[in-house]
Amino acid sequence: MIKVGLILGIAGACRTDELVNLTVDDIEDVGSSLIVKIPNTKTKIPRIFVVTDVGNMLELFRKYLSLRPPHVKHKRLFLYYEAGKCSSQPVGKNTMGKIPSVVDSYLKLPDVACYTGHCLRRSSATLLADAGVDITTIKRHTGWKSTTVAEGYVENAIENKTKLANQVLVGTTTSAITKTVNVSESNIPSNINFENCTNVTFNLNVNK
């Protein structure tokens, strides 16, 4: 349950109650990926996200789903799991919210109490910001209405902090420019000679 909660929570920037209320009908297994729908959100904006076949994520989800008892009458996805079996009792908000602290304890990190259920949502946004994803995409993925919140993650991204540090300390940035041009003999300067050349590549470093 914990592994599947981590996968869906981070992949979809899910709030704790969104995971708790997730049903088996909200997830479509299309073979190469999972299409997950979050119909009811805090901001009243339904979201859809995809979990791709990275590592054994889909295998873990399918294994967990296969453990679902046939007599369960409700459709809540997350059920209590113990001793290799799932019960019919759905997981509550308190248990779901403890997933990050359980992971923290396993990794022997300090301040276990600081890792709440919201860490999954924050981790998703932070990973996107560190990857250079723009604010509009982060807002759409998380369902945030506030641009200010998304801007906070982008501004605090390590990648952006590193670029800013280089600009402050070095004073310049280097850009790589790739351009394909058609060169004929008529426009080649007289002091440059080409003989039997194909697919020539020039690397130009520009300091701004």
Token pair of 77, please? 């996805």
CA–CA dist 113, 102 (Å, integer): 10
Q: At 188, phi and psi to the nearest 5?
A: -90, 125
CA–CA dist 128, 73 (Å, integer): 38
- What tens-digit pLDDT sequence spans the chain (208 residues)? 889 999 999 999 899 999 999 999 999 999 999 999 999 888 888 899 999 988 889 999 999 999 999 999 999 999 988 888 888 999 999 999 988 888 888 888 888 777 788 888 888 888 888 888 888 888 888 888 888 877 777 767 766 677 767 777 776 554 444 455 555 555 555 555 556 655 555 554 545 5
3-state helix, strand, coil in the chain (%, to 5): 45, 15, 40
**What is the reported pLDDT for 174?**
47
Task: Give the start-end residues of each E strand in 79-196.
Answer: 79-82, 85-90, 174-176
SS3 state at 14 = coil
